[in-house]
Structure 1
Amino acid sequence: MALIAILAGDGIGPEVTAEARRVLDALDLDLHFEEGLVGGVAYRATGHPLPAATLDLARRADAVLFGAVGDPSCDGLERALRPEQAILGLRKELGLFANLRPAMLFAGLEDASALRPEVAGAIDLVIVRELTGDVYFGDKGRRTGADGLREGYDLMRYDEAEVARIARVGFETARRRRSRLCSVDKANVLETSQLWRDVVIEISAEYPGVALSHMYVDNAAMQLVRNPGQFDVIVTGNLFGDILSDQASMCAGSIGMLPSASLDTGSKGMYEPIHGSAPDIAGQGRANPCAAILSAAMMLRHSLHLNDAADRIDGAVAAAIAGGARTGDLGGAMSTRAMGDAVLAKL
């Protein structure tokens, strides 16, 4: 029996994870679920966004199904106590260094994309984002400069081992798909990116069957809206990956459709929709649960190696969308629960 930690979190997190749980229950798999507090709701209950009990649960679990964190009422807290620090803490403590974010346009959602249908229809890519380095984890702080003005600083840094590790994930992912890897950096102005590019080129010698290309991040952002079909797998750092993956989600129709997996060097992973807590619609039954449901499918595939069950979930979501199921973000009016029902009916 596999233990699944459900960390629903804030905002729409509880609503969308509930639908993912319903889908997993319908598959009648040998899974045991335990729930834990995380984010703003955890801070209000325990005084910390990532309580020791939640971290212990995440460590014991075979996989973590995560909702979302973020609560405007916590914006005034010191940074270490803000809800978003729970995600960074889980990544660090569980060694989750590789983030996989697939982006594809489901048939029937061509009009939901900001791109022309013929351009959007070609989207089928995976962004492999490094998660535990870069400016998010580098030295940071505030200081007063020589002229007396306040300064803020965040250090961008990677060492060669960190780059090699994520590069191999990128190459392995590309090898399982169409064998094309694009490494995104800013090597023309950033020394960190030059090291990144050098190491990726070195690792490419281990994967002669994968075609490697390089692209500056500003050009990559432009190409994602100009010709997204050119990409198979993109590997990039934490900051650039954060931005590009959200951009890719809107190219694919809605941020409510994209799942993600954050993986360690083995089979442990944390699986979450990329849409965030969306406090403006929380508790209203308006959230799209598809990204959470698809994240559950990624969990079955990557952590539990239940590929057939994962394929069933992916197929059910695609069939529901093709059949006209739409929440508000997709131009429809279905509730969160109704969209979950539509997926279950196809399952």
Structure 2
Amino acid sequence: MATHNLLLLPGDGIGPEVMAEVDRLVAFLAKKSKVEFKTEQALCGGCSIDKHGTPLTEEVLAKAKAADAIIFGSVGGPKWDKVAYEIRPEAGLLRLRKELDLFANLRPAICYPALAEASSLKRELVEGLDILILRELTGGTYFGEPKEIVTLENGQKRAVDTTVYTTHEIERIARVAFDLARKRKNKVHSAEKRNVMKTGVLWNQVVTAVHAAEAKDVELQHILADACSMQLVRNPKQFDVIVCDNLFGDMLSDQAAMLAGSLGMLPSASLGAPDPKTGLRKALYEPIHGSAPDIAGKGIANPIAQMASFGMALRYSCNMVKEADLLDKAIANTLAQGYRTADIMQPNMRSVGTTEMGKAIVTELERLIG
């Protein structure tokens, strides 16, 4: 019997509420499939600051390195706005990404047919939408040095964020983009700002070189990042895989999420390089929504992004592709049956809370598995 060791880090805000529905999924699949899930929960983010004075302890980091996959909730909230920048809740997540070298962030934007009307765009623009944004996650503006705010001689302040990329960093994310495209519609858009940024010039050159040497079978188009943002609103279905740096990937993926109706709908996967011996990747799976402190504890949060993030873990870390496909179908069917949390509520639909939505999806998954 295959065994998968999962580290669950619910975090702050609505994190523990939506993670409880992952627990429900794990318990169901453990009974229905020939696999064993060993799960452990730990603190990360603001909750860890409250207890340990740091958003990520060395003990939890060690557990993360030993796990087959990390299922992450969300971190942060107004409670920790005044803590030192170095120990802010988000620093824990950033350290996990850096220490595990999780350089490839996969963010799908899928518009379920039942939610086409929930999008801010017209139905014909988003119905059937299936985009994958691939964000480089461990370099660029978020990690470049120097990163500082200094006081000048005249009393004014100057802030500096450095954007840095190497050939190697761009090559490896480009390879992932082309590999993913081969399993989809075989098209990659590389979004960069080569017209004003030197990192954009290098990004363009390296992606072009990798394509010419290793991926001529995949269609490649370059697009300026700001033009890509515009086209996501104008004609989103022209895209298949979009690969971009850390900063642009952060912004473009949130924009694409709203095409699907709600940030509460979409998962993500952060993957490292394959282990030379086992071929397995370090991986962290998380919804792209935040901790939503304004609704925390009310039982109304949408658990779909968290549950779908676990689905990505089934696909990329557990080699349970069939189960991942069935979970995706169970989510689509549950939405088609009219179940809606507050963030995606529509007229004449059934308003449910976090727990009821999670139960409905697992019930539908049980029906599909039989």
Q: Same fold (TM over 0.5)?
A: yes
Residues of 2 paired with 1:338 and 1:230: CA distance? 36
TM superposition shift of 1:151: 0.7
1:229-308 equivalences in 2 (<5 Å): 229-266=237-274, 267-308=281-322
One-letter amino acid matched to 1:54: V
SS class of match (2:19) = helix
Which of 110, 128, 149 aligns to 1:142? It is 149
Name the residue aligned to 1:187: 194
TM superposition shift of 1:56: 1.2
Residues of 1 paired with 2:304 and 2:157: CA distance? 44
Residues of 1 paired with 2:133 and 2:23: CA distance? 26
TM superposition shift of 1:111: 1.1
1:37-76 equivalences in 2 (<5 Å): 37-76=43-82
TM superposition shift of 1:144: 2.7
Name the residue aligned to 1:223: 231
Which of 3, 6, 11 aligns to 2:5? It is 3
TM superposition shift of 1:122: 4.1
TM-score by length of 1: 0.98
1:306-325 equivalences in 2 (<5 Å): 306-325=320-339
- Structure 1 contact 122–228 (Cα < 8 Å) conserved: no
Name the residue aligned to 1:152: 159
TM-score by length of 2: 0.92
Which of 163, 166, 175 aligns to 2:170? It is 163
Residues of 1 paired with 2:123 and 2:18: CA distance? 28
Residues of 2 paired with 1:2 and 1:95: CA distance? 20
**Deviation string for 1:237-275 (max 9, x for gaps)?**
000000000000101111111000000002221000000
Name the residue aligned to 1:344: 362
SS class of match (1:30) = strand
Residue identity over aligned pairs, in percent, reads 48
SS class of match (2:10) = strand
TM superposition shift of 1:92: 0.6
Q: Does 1:88 align with 2:94?
A: yes
Residues of 2 paired with 1:343 and 1:317: CA distance? 6
Moved over 4 A (4+): none
RMSD after superposition = 1.0
One-letter amino acid matched to 2:288: I
**Deviation string for 1:208-260 (max 9, x for gaps)?**
11000011111111100110000000000000000000000101111111000
Q: Does 1:106 align with 2:120?
A: no
Residues of 2 paired with 1:147 and 1:131: CA distance? 37
**Deviation string for 1:47-67 (max 9, x for gaps)?**
100011211111111000000
TM superposition shift of 1:142: 1.1
- Structure 2 contact 111–130 (Cα < 8 Å) conserved: yes
Q: How many residues align?
A: 347
TM superposition shift of 1:107: 1.4
Residues of 1 paired with 2:172 and 2:155: CA distance? 42
SS class of match (2:114) = coil
One-letter amino acid matched to 2:191: V
